Structure 1
Amino acid sequence: VLAGPGSGKTQVLILRIAEILKKTQMNPYNILGLTFTESASEEMKERLINLIGPTGYDVNITTFHGFANSIIQEFPFLFGQTIAGEEGEFNLADWRPLDDLERLKIIEQLLTNQQWQYIQPLKNNLFYLREISRALSDIKRERLTGIMNYELRSKDKNINNNNVINRTKELFRLHELYQTELAKRFIYDYEDMLNWVIDKMKVDWELSLLYQERYQYILVDEYQDTNNSQLALLKILTSFYKDNPNLFVVGDPNQSIFRFQGASSQNIQEFIRQYPLAKIINLNQNYRSGRVIIDAAAAVINHNEQDFKEPLQTVRKYDGRITSIEYTNKEEEVGGVADRIKTIINRGGGAQEIAILVRKNNQINDFIRACEERNVPYQVNRGENILDQPFMERFLILLETINQPLDKIALGKTAYYFRNQIGLEQAALLAKRGRNDNQLDDKTEEFIQKIDRLAKQAPGLTIDQILEKTIEQFSLINEINEQPNRLIILDGLKTLFDNAKQFKSNNFDQWLKQLRDRQKHDLNLITKETIWGKNDGVAIQTYHQAKGEEYTTVFLPQMEERLWTKKKSDYFALGRLVNEKDSVSARPGFGRDELPSLDGIVTEERRLFYVGLTRAKRNCFISHEKTSLPSRFINELPEKIVGKKIIEETDRQKVKRLELSIQPLGLINISQQEKDWLRRQTEKLTLSPTGFNKYLNCPKDFLLNNILRIPMADDPGLIYGTAIHGALEKYYHQPELKIAKNRFQQLINQSTMSEDDKKRFLAAGGKLLTAYVDKKKMEFVRPAATEYTFSKSRLNDIPLGGKIDKIDWLDESQKTVRVIDYKTTGRAPSRNEIIGQTKKTTGSTLYYLNQLKFYWLLGQLDKKFASRWLIGETALEFLDNDHRFKTEVFSFSNKEINQFQDQIRAVWSDIQAFKFPHNPQSTSCRFCHLWDI
């Protein structure tokens, strides 16, 4: 399906799924929908459910990487056979993901330890470092390994072809060394996952056949941007049906903005060649924009050569306009855009129907500031670089002082950064004269003592424990709570804690240095992408983010040639390779284009501008500053439909703008922003057995830990329990004590536990596993499954999820099973304690039954589970310090499960209504008394 902008391509995909379910005997779980982003898959799922009801939950709509990961998760030990290091084969669980800093350091090491002629310039042997990093990812995405010879031509006489080709050849040699180094360290790239699945399916026909049979209808969105790895996966999934599979793809060559230059029509051409029986459908009816927008967009995109040319026809009859505005300077332009938006809103226009689109992320902040100055509501969907946040810089300086308490410079910086705790005069004294000055007051002495105490404790703590204690000792939670952007700061702290927990060693000094190394290499540490601001605010986003969106009025500011068609250096020739051997990309039409020339760059950028322009329904304001050359795309717009203005500020307007820019920003609807943010978090929440019980114990504690997720150190007891579970999972696949103990030791050693805790728990766990295996070996039966993750299921509209430790057969002929939840505990409670009939019953033991009921319910709601098994019993298996290992078995009636469903509905309703009171009887709350929300 060739679908132009505004033609309803997402709706077509959804209607296609509905038609399949209506007119065939196909089950929803036999349909696979593949998208590029999580947000796109969530939107498709939501629209499908709205169209066909709860059945839509069972259709698998996911990203390519999400799909690959689900295969790996379903068969982890199968994939363990295909990934080998130098010393033998290892399970995937033994590997860890590579982060961007470690990637650069590995490349740096390979560049300095080897001889290179082309990718290592004489004066700066790390000149190509970042380009190499990006290129290595491209090699994997496009499956370009094994290439030996290239055909490269260029119309641009300024390109030195030989250097580009030779540099690219050296890049492939570096790629081989890079992959070897990753294997030695048992780490993998994000792009490796998809290729692992492809490589495994190529040699394992049973695995391929399983998924070919499971997914008999496959649908793909944004097909024009599909890379070679994704195409290879599609080819395997559809190969059983040869040249006539049930494959439905939607794309628009004019909106290809995510691949190599020249790849826009290539995928579609290849699709037609590979599937000659495919039906080609053109969707050229635009349901979004008026005639002015459509005519302008067509005039621009017609400057590109097009293989598939079908003029868009507008369905909407409403008027619209395009206005090109020239401002005196950048500041005037930014303020002018915000002023015009405020005028539109004051005249009754909806802020949510307005968007500001920019070329690069670093342009966003100027417009955020301008909107805040004018009280214009806005929303931004992005992750924040925590290393740029003022609070985080203060916190890192404090941590560096704790790491080096005698460093006078660090102490002086800390004094100034935390002058709110000791006063400016004392901060100046401490910075100038040091810690031994006799004029330091008691408050400052106590401040220094806190640093010294933490410095003394640090060697015996894990990194995240140091962070947690520092936050506690210096009352930083209280300080954060008083900030207008407290949610952003808190999100940053969560990201910092995650980074600390994932760091390869428990060396506090090395961890701090890697954070500074990130800053040195301009490697951001980004929070998870989140929508900040108001739900009904003006959207401020990049052109790429705006793909698929639509607004009544769109602003395209800073349309200057320097930002759009800047000539890119041609370091490598990856986008134009022809493999003469066995690469996936060896196919007619691939790579026979020219090396990137200025014309090619303009073509790509024109598509991006086309995407931005076609987001508008009625009106589009395009602007630039007078001192810069306007983008050529402005001049490609038809003069007869574009109104042009030159705006120069009056002195009065200039004074007003300057006053706005220097005044401090107040608390702009912060409570409403927080409510909007909380609403988004609660709406996408998945309720688990643990979360359900936590809410019952204390709703406010649930809010702080499960929604706001206040950062805290990992609990050693929980780490120990997880390691025991991992060891038993290994044991039930390979029933040998040595293998189980090795797995346990590995999990403990790579955890964030302190060294003292590791010694203690290694000893305890070794004894427990020995006793467990000794007791169970005579009655060993291979389970039906271990560590089973329930698919996201729905109780009405409530998303539920969970993971069970072990599934044992009761009667394989009847498909009945017992689901077992391990409890690693000091003492195993009695059955009467669990059911609440003794004085010893505590909150935690009472909640055990809730967990089992939750699993019973999930077993009914999870279609994949229900197609394989029927729960006959649930059980708690206690892995206690007394090594009794008793098991308590429970079954539940339909009446009990129905009552439990009512309890879940009540909890969910309270969560969505923001009912988070503190339970004063709770003994497990850590932050409820500190956090006022």
Structure 2
Amino acid sequence: MKNIDLLKNLNSKQKEIVSENRKNLLILAGAGSGKTLVLIRRIAWLIYKENCSPKSILAVTFTNKAAKELKTRITSLLINNFQKNNIWIGTFHSFAYYLLRKHYLNVGLTKNFQIIDSYDQKIIIKRILKKLSLKDKIFSIENILKYINNIKNNILNNHFYKNNLYNINLSKIYDEYQSFCKITEVIDFNELIFYLYKLFLNNPKILKIYQKRFQNILIDEFQDTNDIQYKFISLLYNKHYNTKIVLVGDDDQSIYGWRGAKINNINRFLQEFDKVKMILLEQNYRSTSNILEVANKLISYNNNRLKKKLWTNADNGDLITIYYALNEFDEAEYIAKYIKQKILKKNIKLNNYAILYRNNSQSRILEEILLKFSIPYKIYGGIQFFERQEIKNILSYLRLISNYNDDSSFERIINIPKRGIGNTTLNYIKYIANKYSLTLWKSSFFLLKNKNFLNKTSFYALKKFITLITFLKNNIKHQSLSKIIKQTIKFSGLWDMYNKNCLFEKDNTKINNLKEFINAAKYFTKKKLQYKTKLNNLKIKDVNLLTDFLSQTLLLNENINKNNEKKNNYIQLMTIHASKGLEFSEVFIVGMEEGIFPNKISFDEKSINEERRLAYVGITRAKKKLTLTYTKKRFLYGKEINSIQSRFINELPQNCIKNISYIQNISVLPKKNYLFIKKKYFIGQMVYHKNFGQGIILKIEILKKNEKLQIKFDNTIIKWIMSNYIQSSI
């Protein structure tokens, strides 16, 4: 293969990396700089130009997807099966698994050892808690799991944390967990690298075999490595065998410190390995010049970074839009209107648009408004708000409180949180219900009146559950909707279940989602009160607030699913963490406010720096246009607060920014556009008609000067009615 084949279409720095003599290299690769292409060409160069055996090459990355892409693309450059079959390309974990299968005896494993996932780990931990008579209300299974993984990822002594009774018990759980795994011949995912490290550390002869073989080591996304992965690399490296390492990473994109990644590993490599040459990939092939200038300026506020500056031959492009919204609804509507205008102008691919947010709980209002504007969307790497476990659980409690005969809700939450009602008891409740044609609620009363049917433990557990629901039912009288929900979350035990003492993760996503659900209730109440005033003026009786809220929530979720089933063309919603490695023509980053982004738990320089890197990652996902939004006020943590603009916005260069404010009444839409000037209604909205009474909107058709609404009325009649015949709405 000629040089031109491997150096074709590369810039000068890329060529330098590909064609460099064998030596230790640190490739500091900025976002969108073509690092994967360079890595592939470098491997081919080692084989064709440096005459390295394919067997000597070990290429490691972090995800199966990245490993598969690397393998596919390098294979296309190789000419025979020997070359293709003898390069080792994979993840850290797959490499560890491969070697442990060969050397299981040397680390005390059995031949048939199996790998378990986090679900299996949780089952084991539950058994251990029961064995040690420790309550899972105090010892969160999630936190125990994090403790176990932290010990292994950082090669810590389990007894390191024995400084109080809680940690002493954690240490006991760890010991029991390890003993159980050994007896049952299983190892967990994180143990793969832990055991590989032990294999190399305690077996010099085996280590020597692989040091001799893998003399060319290439590692991608090095900024994401943890302590044990760094030490594994250090063990495999051997100057005597002329081992050379090529590391590709970007300290500015190190955003996984919360799960053990060590940004300092890049500096350690420069200091601890021989004669490392650092090459910067700064030319960006993704974004416009304005986007890069904003990203460069923002990240420059971080100290102790390996300085680089992204640049491009592309045009300046659009200015970065900063939208100052009145509240979170105005924020979401601004984005939805902008996208809807694009849809009207031309047949666009919605997949090229992404809305990014710091926290999962921020998606709820975005989902609601996108549905209102009939814009299909997809939660990338996540679950739609009303499909999340904690939301479905609280909804089931509320539905059962509202309607004792809701069997599906009864079955879902009868043992959530755990209250000693197992499948045997539930199946017997179902049996009685089927036999006597009863609901599960009435079947439970039947069993409680006849004590001989259940054992003592099951009887009192069921009685306690029925008493709880009855108490919550009686407690909703004269209470606001948000207070009903707060009390249900509290007395049901859901709050305690999701808010157990966090050992490592300070930001509890499930709790944030429950808080956002309370916010939804407050907003619904506010709009409902406006509607109720109109109904009172018309002398129309209002429906029960809780029942109405539950009905609209259910219908909203149903319409989300129907709306998204229609097309494969979605706008993508995701956290900024989930967006890493992706790119989109246009990107919106919402919630650029203190307490959201940067996160409320970021209070020291180290955590603020990681938040700033996260903002940098979000910004550099955009190819052509970037919009950042923040609000004057928003519902947060159960109350309306005045927002403070994120410090990150203040750090951006003003010459690259276009400010738009709700105060200026500036719209990205032409004022004559009937679709947005006239539109008053949305799917799931409650409305009133003088002849048919109160109803709920199921579908909307946009006409030239009006809207045609399909409405389901309280008497179950469904009709299509022009919007000008609707007398009032919320």
Which TM-score tier does this pair reach, normalised by the shorter chain? 0.5 to 0.7
- Say if 1:318 and 1:618, in contact at 8 Å, map to a contact too: no
Aligned counterpart, 1:286 = 284
Counterpart of 1:639 in structure 2: which amino acid? Q
1:9-48 equivalences in 2 (<5 Å): 9-48=35-74
Aligned counterpart, 2:662 = 647
Aligned counterpart, 2:152 = 140
- Say if 1:265 and 1:307, in contact at 8 Å, map to a contact too: no
Counterpart of 1:542 in structure 2: which amino acid? T
Q: 2:100 aligns with which of 50, 67, 72?
A: 72
Q: CA deviation at 1:382?
A: 2.2
Q: CA deviation at 1:128?
A: 7.4
Distance between the aligned counterparts of 1:318 and 1:377, measured in 2? 31
Aligned counterpart, 1:93 = 113
- Say if 1:110 and 1:177, in contact at 8 Å, map to a contact too: no
Aligned counterpart, 1:603 = 609
Q: CA deviation at 1:29?
A: 4.7
TM-superposition CA deviations, 1:777-833 (whole Å, max 9, x none): xxxxxxxxxxxxxxxxxxxxxxxxxxxxxxxxxxxxxxxxxxxxxxxxxxxxxxxxx
1:235 aligns to 2:234 (yes or no): yes
TM-superposition CA deviations, 1:79-99 (whole Å, max 9, x none): 145337xxxxx5552785563
TM-superposition CA deviations, 1:117-144 (whole Å, max 9, x none): xxx9xxx992777545424322211223
Aligned counterpart, 1:638 = 653
Q: 2:571 aligns with which of 519, 538, 549?
A: 538
1:412-423 equivalences in 2 (<5 Å): none
Aligned counterpart, 1:215 = 214
TM-superposition CA deviations, 1:355-378 (whole Å, max 9, x none): 111112333454345444434344
Alignment CA distance shift 1:432-1:167 (3 Å):
closer
Counterpart of 1:563 in structure 2: which amino acid? I
Partner SS for 2:585: strand
Alignment CA distance shift 1:619-1:435 (3 Å):
closer
Distance between the aligned counterparts of 1:664 and 1:93, measured in 2? 57
Aligned counterpart, 1:702 = none
Distance between the aligned counterparts of 1:13 and 1:239, measured in 2? 22
Partner SS for 2:107: coil
- Say if 1:111 and 1:126, in contact at 8 Å, map to a contact too: no
1:74-223 equivalences in 2 (<5 Å): 75=102, 78-80=103-105, 82-83=107-108, 91=111, 93=113, 99-102=120-123, 105=126, 126=138, 130-131=142-143, 133-145=145-157, 167=163, 171=167, 174-175=170-171, 178-184=174-180, 186=182, 187-223=186-222
Alignment CA distance shift 1:167-1:432 (3 Å):
closer
Aligned counterpart, 1:622 = 628
Aligned counterpart, 1:659 = 682
Distance between the aligned counterparts of 2:570 and 2:80, measured in 1? 31
Partner SS for 2:658: strand
Q: Which consecutive unaligned segments of at least 5 residues does structure 2 have?
A: 1-26, 397-407, 415-420, 447-493, 501-507, 511-563, 634-642, 668-673, 686-695, 701-730
Alignment CA distance shift 1:203-1:315 (3 Å):
same
- Say if 2:47 and 2:53, in contact at 8 Å, map to a contact too: yes
Aligned counterpart, 2:723 = none
Counterpart of 2:338 in structure 1: which amino acid? R
1:553 aligns to 2:622 (yes or no): no
Counterpart of 2:424 in structure 1: which amino acid? N
Aligned counterpart, 1:828 = none
Counterpart of 2:157 in structure 1: which amino acid? T
Aligned counterpart, 2:297 = 299
- Say if 2:372 and 2:682, in contact at 8 Å, map to a contact too: no
- Say if 1:297 and 1:613, in contact at 8 Å, map to a contact too: yes
Q: CA deviation at 1:307?
A: 3.5
Counterpart of 2:155 in structure 1: which amino acid? R
Aligned counterpart, 1:703 = none
- Say if 2:292 and 2:620, in contact at 8 Å, map to a contact too: yes
TM-superposition CA deviations, 1:20-71 (whole Å, max 9, x none): 2321334445422211122222333344345557868544322111221222
Partner SS for 2:278: coil
Q: CA deviation at 1:296?
A: 1.0
Alignment CA distance shift 1:241-1:383 (3 Å):
farther
Alignment CA distance shift 1:231-1:332 (3 Å):
same
For this pair of structures, how many residues does the alignment match? Answer: 513
Distance between the aligned counterparts of 2:269 and 2:618, measured in 1? 27
Distance between the aligned counterparts of 1:241 and 1:344, measured in 2? 61
Partner SS for 1:659: coil
- Say if 1:2 and 1:280, in contact at 8 Å, map to a contact too: yes
1:62 aligns to 2:90 (yes or no): yes
Of 619-628 and 213-222, the range deviating more from structure 2: 213-222
- Say if 2:115 and 2:187, in contact at 8 Å, map to a contact too: yes
**Highest RCO, 1 vs 2 (Cα 8 Å, sep ≥ 6):** 2
Identical positions, percent = 28
Alignment CA distance shift 1:173-1:239 (3 Å):
farther
TM-superposition CA deviations, 1:448-506 (whole Å, max 9, x none): xxxxxxxxxxxxxxxxxxxxxxxxxxxxxxxxxxxxxxxxxxxxxxxxxxxxxxxxxxx
Counterpart of 1:539 in structure 2: which amino acid? Q
Partner SS for 2:596: helix
- Say if 1:261 and 1:600, in contact at 8 Å, map to a contact too: no
Distance between the aligned counterparts of 2:495 and 2:331, measured in 1? 36
Distance between the aligned counterparts of 1:599 and 1:536, measured in 2? 41
Q: CA deviation at 1:224?
A: 1.4
Counterpart of 1:357 in structure 2: which amino acid? L
Distance between the aligned counterparts of 2:650 and 2:509, measured in 1? 37
- Say if 1:567 and 1:601, in contact at 8 Å, map to a contact too: no
Alignment CA distance shift 1:321-1:108 (3 Å):
farther
1:397 aligns to 2:411 (yes or no): yes
Q: CA deviation at 1:432?
A: 6.8
Counterpart of 2:104 in structure 1: which amino acid? F
Distance between the aligned counterparts of 2:626 and 2:204, measured in 1? 53
Alignment CA distance shift 1:53-1:403 (3 Å):
farther
Q: CA deviation at 1:275?
A: 1.6
Partner SS for 2:207: helix
1:676-825 equivalences in 2 (<5 Å): none
Partner SS for 1:316: coil
Alignment CA distance shift 1:217-1:520 (3 Å):
same
Distance between the aligned counterparts of 1:34 and 1:261, measured in 2? 19
Distance between the aligned counterparts of 1:30 and 1:610, measured in 2? 36
Aligned counterpart, 1:268 = 266
Partner SS for 1:229: helix
Alignment CA distance shift 1:197-1:9 (3 Å):
same
Of 340-349 and 658-667, the range deviating more from structure 2: 658-667
Aligned counterpart, 1:836 = none
Partner SS for 1:6: coil
- Say if 2:124 and 2:177, in contact at 8 Å, map to a contact too: no
Q: CA deviation at 1:255?
A: 0.9
Aligned counterpart, 2:596 = 563
Q: Which consecutive unaligned segments of at least 5 residues does structure 1 have?
A: 85-89, 114-119, 149-164, 416-421, 438-514, 525-531, 569-595, 668-933
Q: Give me the TM-score of the superposition, normalised by structure 1.
A: 0.48
Q: 1:311 aligns with which of 299, 305, 309?
A: 309
Partner SS for 1:10: helix
- Say if 1:101 and 1:518, in contact at 8 Å, map to a contact too: no
TM-superposition CA deviations, 1:855-881 (whole Å, max 9, x none): xxxxxxxxxxxxxxxxxxxxxxxxxxx
Partner SS for 2:314: coil
